[in-house]
Structure 1
């Protein structure tokens, strides 16, 4: 499968997830606190390279992939390189490439996962549990009654079905982005670059 087709396939999954999550937010009222970036301070977040193929491809098209790749090689922090924390804060910040964030970034806080017994449980953060506990509890009860909610397991399965290798390979998030860039650069090393507006390469 070509890079462009992989990008489109991943973006299609992201669009479906966004639609599901927006429906959950609207029906429940659950929302992140404005400016909160606490989850992005977590140092051991893992992701698959496939989640960042759209980001790497965007960098390639805008001729910034070499610069971004070198920056990742020089990066010494274990938190996501795309995260822009507020100076001197331990819980505030934002994503510098929000439109191209990975699947885990999209799912966390607003999705559920199945445990070993097949029971579904909302995966959200301590802050939302503390500040919107009633909403979180209502959603959990709804999940137990089969209300629609994004299922983390299902979305990872869909990602893996696009490319079993890149979709199954779980790496620290910065290494996942690095690998995605290497895949895109390697693919186009001996191929003609796609033209904007005619992305069928």
Structure 2
């Protein structure tokens, strides 16, 4: 499979995730506060190179990968996501500069389930959600326990790993995953054009 075919499958799964999380939000009223970027500020967010492949391809096709590489090199590909743009005036607020390409953890967190100790689905609630809307979080948890359909982190991870196991099973910090995806895209482009 080509990088583009793989990326297309990832994007199809992202569309499915978005429909599931939108339905949960519409059914329950759960939503993130406007402009909130608290989870994006976490330097320990992990994803897979597979999930960063669509944005790596996009950057490569638009010839924007070099400036990104330079930006990432300045922080040694570490720290919070390099695509996060914090609000200069409101602490904890910001925006994702690649929102349409964000990985599954960014799409699911706060709106999907993990398995609890009893093996049932339980909302993976955002700490900030719990602080500012505890009643809403409890209501959503009860709805899920009562059978409300919800996206599952483990099911999505399984589906992603089945797209391309060599890229979909390697969890690492988000910037490191991006680096691996960019390297793959660059190497494949060199191989396909015969530049060796």
The TM tier, using the shorter chain, reads over 0.9
CA RMSD of aligned residues (A): 1.6
Match of 2:136 in 1: 135
Distance of 1:127 and 1:115 partners within structure 2: 20
Matched residues, number: 193
Unaligned runs of 5+ in 2: none
- Counterpart-to-counterpart distance in 2, 1:39 and 1:100: 17
Query: Which residue is 1:83 aligned to?
Result: 84
Alignment of 1:30-179 (within 5 A): 30-76=30-76, 78-87=79-88, 89-179=90-180
1:63 counterpart SS class: coil
* Whole-angstrom CA distance in 2 between matches of 1:45 and 1:64: 23
Q: Distance in 2 between matches of 1:26 and 1:107?
A: 15
**Greater mean deviation of Cα atoms: 122-131 or 56-65:** 122-131
Q: CA deviation at 1:88?
A: 6.2
Structure 1 runs not aligned, ≥5 long: 193-201
8 Å Cα contact 1:112-1:152 kept in structure 2: yes
> C-alpha separation between the residues in 1 aligned to 2:174 and 2:136?
30
* Structure 1 residue 117: Cα displacement: 3.4
CA contact 1:41–1:90 (8 Å) conserved in 2:
no
Please state how far the C-alpha of 1:75 moved relative to its aligned partner.
2.1
Deviation at 1:116, TM superposition (A): 4.7
In the alignment, the residues of structure 2 paired with residue 185 and residue 42 of structure 1 have an alpha-carbon distance, to the nearest angstrom, of: 28
Q: Normalization by structure 2: what TM-score?
A: 0.93
What is the match of residue 19 of structure 1? 19
